[in-house]
Amino acid sequence: MVVHRQPLMLRAGEVLSYSLGIALLIFFAVQIARGEVQRHAAVESFHEQAVQVASLSSADEYANPEAAAASANAPALFRDTGAPDTSLWAPGRIADYQNSLTAEMPPILGVLEVPSVSLEVPVYQEGSALVMDRAAGVINGMAYPHEGGNIGISGHRDGYFRALKDVKVGDRIVLQTLQGEKHFTIDATTVVDKTDTTLLKDTPEQTVTLVTCYPFYFVGHAPQRFIVTASLDTTDVNHTRRN
């Protein structure tokens, strides 16, 4: 009796390939679920910080007039951003995002929204590579979302911030912070050399500066930066929420 080993080996290889594919799908599903749990925990941490600010201000209401004013401006809980839409992301960036899901992250300071391009992303306390693999981060040395001055936020061009390729002057930016919700209007989009930090300088007025690498679909280390600058919308008197 002749045994045909080659067909048997091919069949065994097919079974092994299917098994590996199923295992990978299960692995990615578990990673995404773990990321959702961690993301909710980060949002909850933000909420707890907001409650603490409100509680401390309330306790000092009579002893400290400034604390009483802070209590009046204590933020409500901000909206959950949900799972990221990765349809525009590069495959490698999706993998980096998945790898970041098990990492310990710094505090979350707010949520950045650009409604015109359906961008919603948590903003963390620092702009490290790990943070940008997960979300967006405050650029070192620039103002935090709840502070005055130039609020600098960076993100990867092939991840969350790829949506910025479609923003236009006049589009609205909403920034949820520990002091409430702030509204900004995009004044300009600028492409500069990666060493040009002119637009990252502090400003006397409250502004938002979004920074990502450019070109958006460049292969390798991008040589330029795409910068979005926006000013506080003074026509929106409710840029801080009140109780």
Q: What is the DSSP string of the chain?
A: ----HHHHHHHHHHHHHHHHHHHHHHHHHHHHHHHHHHHHHHHHHHHHHHHHHHHHHHHTTTT-HHHHHHHHTPPPPPPP--S---TTS-HHHHHHHHHHTTS----EEEEEEEGGGTEEEEEES---HHHHHHSEEEPTTSBPTTSSSEEEEE--TTTGGGGGGG--TT-EEEEEETTEEEEEEEEEEEEEETT--GGGS--SS-EEEEEEEESTT-SSS-SEEEEEEEEE-TT-TTSS---
Considering the candidates 146, 183, 213, 239, report the single residue annotated as catalytic. Answer: 213
Considering the candidates 156, 183, 221, 239, report the single residue annotated as catalytic. Answer: 156
183 is catalytic: no
Determine how many CB atoms are found less than 10 A away from the CB of residue 225.
Answer: 21
213 is catalytic: yes
Catalytic residues: 156, 213
